[in-house]
Structure 1
Amino acid sequence: MRLAERLMRTTRRQPAPALHLEPVASEDARTGNAPHGTEDDAQAHADVYGHLQLDPDGLDQNQGQDQGRGDGMPQAPRLGASGLNARSHLSAVPPAATVGMAIQPDTARLDAPDEADTAPIPRVPVNDATLFRAPRPESAPVSESATLAAPRADAPEAQPADAQATQAGQTGKSRPSARPAARPASAEQVCDVTTLTLHGDHYYEIRARLQDRLLEMMDLAAAESLPPDRLAAEISRLVEKLLREEFRQAPLNAQEQRQLVEDIRDEVMGLGPLEPLLRDPTVNDILVNNYRMVYVERRGKLIRVNTRFLDDDHLRKIIDRIVARIGRRVDEASPMVDARLADGSRVNAIIPPLALDGPSLSIRRFSKDPLELEDLIRFGALTPEMGEVLRGIVKARLNIIVSGGTGSGKTTMLNCLSRFVPHDERIVTIEDAAELQLKQDHVVRLETRPANIEGHGQVTARDLVKNCLRMRPDRIIVGEVRSGEVLDMLQAMNTGHDGSLTTIHANTPRDCLMRLETMVAMAGLNIGTLSLKRYIASAVDVIIQVSRLADGSRKMTSLSEITGMEGDAITMQDIFTFEQTGVDENGKVQGRFRSGGIRPRFAPRLAAMGIELGGALFDPGLSQ
């Protein structure tokens, strides 16, 4: 997709919200020594905020100096890199001041005589239409270190509180007395600015406007010819330049500015807000419920993260970008789509009108370095003895079905089993969205295709299974059987393509057999129930059941062998099982793996391939 399109598609052209700062009530008002909301009080606040100058860097540069003041001046909440007092809140940008200043009302002098205000410092007029774009007025130079107007040279010096009281008694005028220095804010009073701005609408509005300017500055034709690392460096350079020259009044601290550079780079070159999650190796699933609500799965637990999109349109553009890469589409006529990312991650998206709360996106991630059987043993998903049997049944070319629920690790197990396929065998894989990560060289990968906008051109898994039988495969691996393709898969298993593998959604091995029967019926084959069961029993050798337990861990809960028919029922025996015994105080599932104590009927087939299974593997007393 061209860079211009990607930039324009993710930019909102709406006026930025204003930032209003609610002044903190005086100490007297908080302690009850003065009435709240009086006209004098309002005028005093107006006097304070009417003399504000702007700090172009938006940081608390005088904070360290002010904390140790000994002149009796009060400390008040400030907005800067360190935090925002909880008594002030950030909701909009003041219409009469450029955003990004560090506001320090504590340095305002309420006791200065009125004569000192004869030459007030002009305020910077900025409205929504010119926010962050208006040049700084020449008549209002801004000091790099001060955030308030310095008092005039001829202004009287501030007097101590007792002197003010004496003077007030002599003149008959009441003057506000100096308050004691404010106590340091407690943990409850301080709100982290990073958290606040990263979740505030103004941060995303600044990002959209900055992206607009970036689009105007970039030579898009030249940018498209740059290698990715050069392009990333150029984008970072331009964004940093804009922040220094045109957006220095934006209310962003140094950390937020760095985050802004990364966000825009991810938006231009990747998948926007999803990129940090995709770079996180601990994230297994990314679940976008709507543009403001994103969850991830880490170590089996769902956690809500601070990631968000600008709006529904922004999320929709990211979805379009994902599906366009593999030639698919999602629109009102086809509001659901399965896709994949370049790293093999599986993607499902659904949009309105089917998704009532806006577009929704689900990403199932896979490690760049796929797990191997030794990793599963180390994680406690199975025992070394079970791993030895799995290695043997793959090498001996038994037909295997991996059964399990959603997120139980079926594809991971299938990837692990595929490692034991000899490299001199030809493998054909069939998937709806390619996600298998085979290490062999002699692999042909096939993927289904949905119908186009006219309703033509659909290629189903069943079509591909039929076609792959003409491709001289040694092994057929179907990512998942969901419908009538199971009939063609069973036919392949029964016609010389031994060693085929597939997965199916089912909670137990017995449920797996029932689902196979149901899906064969979906193929429209007019066959009796008994004949169908015999067909399944002769085609399938082993069912591996995997499960996701209550604590989020995955385990191989059973390894079952199909032994044949008894009457009108398919018979099977469990070689290994996992027995759950309880849950500890931390919520971790406790249990043990047990051997069924039965030597499997497929043992002679393994022996014929030179694979010997020791009798101790099937000792009924074996448990771990």
Structure 2
Amino acid sequence: MIQPENPEFDNAVLSHADYTENPEIKPGLLPDSLEILESYWLYPPHSYAVIVKDEEKNLQYMIFEPKITEKEHIILEETDAQLRSVVLYDSKPQNEQLNLDSELVYKIVKNLDQNIADDRIEVIRYYLYRNFKGYGKLDPLMHDENIEDITRNGPDIPVFIFHRKYSNLPVNIIFEGGELNRFVLKIAQKADKQLSLTAPLVDAALPEGARAQITYTDVVSSKGSSFTIRKFKSDPMTPVDLIDYGTYDPEILAFIWLCVKNRKSAIVVGGTASGKTSMMNAFSLFIPHLAKIVSIEDTREMPHKNWLHMKTREREFIGIGQRKCRYVLSF
């Protein structure tokens, strides 16, 4: 295996856990008319978010990533091209697991520019990872646990998010027409879905567990390609969380617990983003630990060993042996 010239290269950047303090906002980075409400790391030490308020009390979510010079941009493109010719894809395309070896990146970049500093190689590696395994310029948002929804309603329009604390916010990210078309195709590919002019509408589950609703070109959306990504908390919501949030009274949850225990049927109905999946994930914790469970469609990981996770397919019926199964969850 190729060893980097500097053996301390992989340790040149601190781990995520070392960045416990908020990022430092350098003077002149933002106009004086903007008031900083909050700032925090997204992918330390390379990207962070700043939430600001202007003079008209409008809020905005701003992402900052390391800047690269024109020369570094050329090195990034050359490295990207070389990696795509040697990187081995995992046998499971839906996982899109890539072997982005840091030592290989180091060698390629050093061959292109022997005088480049190690910290700048780390920046280039960040962008390579973002573009290879991540979601491009949208990747920092995918690392923010405070974001529930990411929406893009067409080209030349800012990306909008739903923040758990600040509600709906515009983001300083804009996709152009052709760029947006390529991006939605990439999202569909990550979800192992086919997106084309004949199939311009796709609902998909992303590898990280998020949901995506994608439209391609202006076939079904007058403004062109669009997408909505619904993110979930890394730790599933529990019944205790529902009580703490004031969503349910303890007596109601106790009643639902008795219903689940006695194998009663239930229908959970609600509008978009009303909390149906979060609620069902919480209720699933009432199911006995060793009971057989079949879930259909997307759900977070449950702490049950006897669990069969299935997905729907259009125009097909899949038998699931309901007579032998004690609990069937449709998400």
- Shorter chain as denominator, the TM-score bin is 0.5 to 0.7
Aligned residue number for residue 320 of structure 1: 185
- 1:233 alignment counterpart: 102
Does the CA-based 8 Å contact 2:100-2:129 persist in structure 1?
A: no
Does the aligned pair in 1 maintain the 2:80–2:128 contact within 8 Å? Answer: no
The amino acid across from 1:438 in the alignment is M
Amino acid at match of 1:267: N
Check 1:380–1:404 CA distance in 2 against 1; reply closer, same or farther (3 A cut): same
CA shift for structure 1 position 371: 1.0
Identify the residue that residue 437 of structure 1 maps to in structure 2: 301
SS in 2 for 1:445: strand
Q: What is the one-letter code of the residue matched to 2:208?
A: D
The reply on whether 1:276 has 2:140 as its aligned counterpart is yes
* 8 Å Cα contact 1:348/1:361 also seen in 2: yes
CA positional deviation for 1:223: 5.6
Does residue 127 of structure 2 align to residue 263 of structure 1? yes
Q: How much has 1:233 moved relative to structure 2?
A: 2.5
- Quickly say closer, same or farther: Cα 1:281–1:358, change in 2 above 3 A: same
Distance 1:475 1:239, change over 3 A: same
Q: How far has the Cα of 1:417 moved from its partner? A: 0.7
Greater strand fraction, Structure 1 or Structure 2: 2
TM-score, with length taken from structure 1: 0.37
Q: Does 1:382 align with 2:248?
A: yes
Post-superposition Cα deviations, 1:457-499, rounded to whole Å, max 9, x if no partner, equal: x32xxx24xx2246622122222xxxxxxxxxxxxxxxxxxxx
Q: What's the counterpart of residue 477 of structure 1?
A: 329
Given the alignment of the two structures, is residue 348 of structure 1 paired with residue 217 of structure 2, yes or no? no
What corresponds to 1:403 in structure 2? Answer: 269
For the pair 1:339 / 2:191, whether they are aligned, the reply is: no
Query: What is the Cα deviation at residue 413 of structure 1?
Result: 0.3
User: Equivalent pairs: percent with the same residue?
Assistant: 25
Matched, 1:297 2:162: yes
Shift, 1:219, TM fit: 7.3
Shift of the alpha carbon at 1:389?
2.1
For structure 2, list consecutive stretches of 5 or more residues without a partner in the other structure: 1-25, 32-61, 91-95
Match of 2:85 in 1: 220
Matches of 1:230 and 1:447 in 2, distance apart? 28
Structure 2: how far apart are the matches of 1:289 and 1:206? 34
Over 3 Å counting, the alpha-carbon distance change for 1:350 and 1:235 in structure 2 is farther
Distance change in 2, residues 1:197/1:297 (3 Å): closer
Alignment of 1:457-476 (within 5 A): 458-459=315-316, 463-464=317-318, 467-469=319-321, 472-476=324-328
CA distance in 1, matches of 2:142, 2:324: 37
How far does residue 257 in structure 1 lie from its aligned partner after superposition?
8.9
Distance 2:247 2:214 in 1: 30
State whether residues 286 and 364 of structure 1, in contact with CA within 8 Å, keep that contact through their aligned partners in structure 2. Answer: yes
* Secondary structure at 2:263 match in 1: coil
Measure the CA separation in 2 of the matches of 1:237 and 1:356. 45
Answer yes or no: is the 8 Å Cα contact 1:294–1:307 preserved in 2: yes
Contact 1:427 1:475 in 2 (8 A): yes
> 1-side partners of 2:98 and 2:224: how far apart?
34
Deviation readout 1:209-243 (Å, 9 max, x if unpaired):
44431134447325658x97972524763686589
- Name the structure 1 match of 2:294: 428
- Would the aligned equivalents of 2:322 and 2:328 in 1 still touch at CA under 8 Å? no
Q: Secondary structure at the match of 1:337?
A: strand
- Contact in 1 for aligned 2:79/2:109 (Cα 8 Å): no
Answer with 1 or 2: which has the greater Rg. 1
Structure-1 separation of matches of 2:178 and 2:207: 23
Residue 319 of structure 1 and its aligned partner are, at CA, apart by 2.6
Distance 1:339 1:376, change over 3 A: same
SS of residue in 1 equivalent to 2:309: strand
Q: Does the alignment pair 1:414 with 2:280? A: yes
Q: Once the 2 structures are TM-superposed, how far is the Cα of residue 375 of structure 1 from its aligned partner?
A: 1.2
Instruction: Describe the SS at the equivalent of 2:244.
Output: helix
**3-state SS of the aligned residue for 1:290?**
coil
Distance in 1, matches of 2:70 and 2:199, equals: 31
Is 2:231 the partner of 1:365? Answer: yes
- Measure, in 2, the Cα distance between the counterparts of 1:319 and 1:471: 41
Cα 1:270–1:350 shift into 2, 3 Å: same
Q: TM-score, normalised by structure 2?
A: 0.67
Match of 2:151 in 1: 287
Once superposed, what is the RMSD of the aligned Cα atoms? 4.0
**Are 1:294 and 1:304, in contact at CA under 8 Å, matched by a contact in 2?**
yes
Q: How many Å separate the matches in 1 of 2:120 and 2:146?
A: 24
Task: Spell out, residue by residue over 1:507-565, the C-alpha distance to the aligned partner (whole angstroms, 9 max, x if none).
Answer: xxxxxxxxxxxxxxxxxxxxxxxxxxxxxxxxxxxxxxxxxxxxxxxxxxxxxxxxxxx
Q: Which amino acid aligns with 2:260?
A: V
Post-superposition shift, 1:418?
0.9
Letter in 1 for 2:206: L
Residue aligned with 2:203, SS: strand
Aligned residue identity for 2:134: G
Distance change in 2, residues 1:196/1:400 (3 Å): closer
